[in-house]
Amino acid sequence: MLRLGVNIDHVATIRNARGTPWPDPLRAARIAEAAGADGITAHLREDRRHISDADIDALMEHLDLPLNLEMAATAEMQRIALRHRPHAVCLVPEKREERTTEGGLDVAGNDSMLADFIAPLREAGCRVSLFIGHEPAQIKAAARIGAAVVELHTGAYCDLDTEGRIAERDAELAGLTEGAQLAAELGLEVHAGHGLTFDTVGPIAALPQIAELNIGHFLIAESVFTGLGDAIREMRRRMEEARA
Ligand code: PXP
């Protein structure tokens, strides 16, 4: 069964554009749950540009679905995660000037720091996920330091598809396919996400090793036209069709 995690960050982006209490990310999470989402993802960024500390408090208190807390590997974020103990913590690289998470985490180059960083999170019962590219060195490093999950970065694959660079897109998809196989062989649970749309989700959902997709921006964008529930139901339908 392929799970869908709905990332609600950009509900908060719209709210923050006007400084109003609406639209409320918790309400979006409840609609996602009713539409069949298996989990909710929220990225608490260092600059709090979308999700706020109060959003995380509200999600932890009121949401029945498991929360996947995305965050950078900083001392502040570790303290917040240990206070809340969400179901999952996904570590991502974060740069202030970036528009969104641009690349994967360099686990191979920071293995001892990350091993120390994730140890208390694992002890607190959080499933630790590392957001990485599909390079074998990164996947092997994630397994070596004891992560439970890797989330493979699908952003480049999606961008190449949008730009119509089909040969490069297919090469990227081949890399993701091999990465998912290697990660599963090493005993890691495999997730994927970033940039996925109705058009790009199929080939990723079809990879049999992938247990979960995390999708946000496109679903929130589509919900302007169809409502969030319909956007999620259509995404699920396409995921299931590809998996079948
Ligand atoms: N997975 C991770 C680790 C991410 O950082 C993001 C973006 O916050 C997503 C998935 C979802 O990406 P998108 O919003 O492009 O669907």
What is 74-128 written as a DSSP string? -HHHHHHHHHH--SEEEE----TT-SS--S---TGGGHHHHHHHHHHHHHTTPEE
Percent of the chain scored above 70 by pLDDT? 98
Does one domain contain both 10 and 114?
yes
Separation of CA 195 and ligand 1 centre (Å): 7
Does one domain contain both 142 and 46?
yes
Return the pLDDT at 112.
Answer: 97
- 241 assigned to some structural domain: no
Does one domain contain both 34 and 142?
yes
Say how far apart CA 154 and CA 168 lie, in whole Å.
13
Does one domain contain both 22 and 68?
yes
User: For the packed helices 75-84 and 111-123, what is the interaxial angle rounded to 10 degrees?
Assistant: 20
Q: 217 a known binding residue? A: yes
71 pLDDT band (50/70/90 cuts)?
very high
Does one domain contain both 2 and 118?
yes
Q: 213: which strand partners?
A: 4, 192
Say how far apart CA 117 and CA 95 lie, in whole Å.
19
Neighbouring residues of 88: CB distance < 8 A, sequence distance ≥ 6: 39, 66, 67, 68, 69, 126, 127, 128, 129, 149
Does one domain contain both 168 and 105?
no
- 199 assigned to some structural domain: yes
Does one domain contain both 29 and 106?
yes
Cβ of 30 less than 6 Å from ligand 1: no
Mean pLDDT of the chain: 97
Does one domain contain both 79 and 200?
no
Name the burial class of residue 1, with classes exposed (0-12), middle (13-18) and buried (19+) by CB atoms within 10 angstroms of its CB. exposed
Separation of CA 146 and ligand 1 centre (Å): 23
- Range(s) of the domain holding residue 41: 1-128+138-147
Q: Domain total for the chain?
A: 2
Does one domain contain both 88 and 187?
no
Does one domain contain both 186 and 74?
no
Q: Is the alpha carbon torsion for 220, 221, 224, 228 positive or negative?
A: negative
Does one domain contain both 66 and 100?
yes
- 233 assigned to some structural domain: no
102 pLDDT band (50/70/90 cuts)?
confident
Return the pLDDT at 140.
Answer: 98
Does one domain contain both 172 and 93?
no
- 221 assigned to some structural domain: no
Q: What is the pLDDT of residues 168-200, one digit of tens each?
A: 999 999 999 999 999 999 999 999 999 999 999
| Active site (catalytic) residues | 43, 70, 194
Separation of CA 216 and ligand 1 centre (Å): 6
Return the pLDDT at 113.
Answer: 97
pTM reported for the whole predicted model: 0.96
Tokens of 84: 């809340």
Cβ of 150 less than 6 Å from ligand 1: no
Q: Which residue among 217, 218, 223, 232 has the greatest number of ligand 1 atoms within 8 angstroms of its CB, and so is best to mutate?
A: 217
CATH number reported for the structural domain that contains residue 104 in this entry? 3.20.20.70
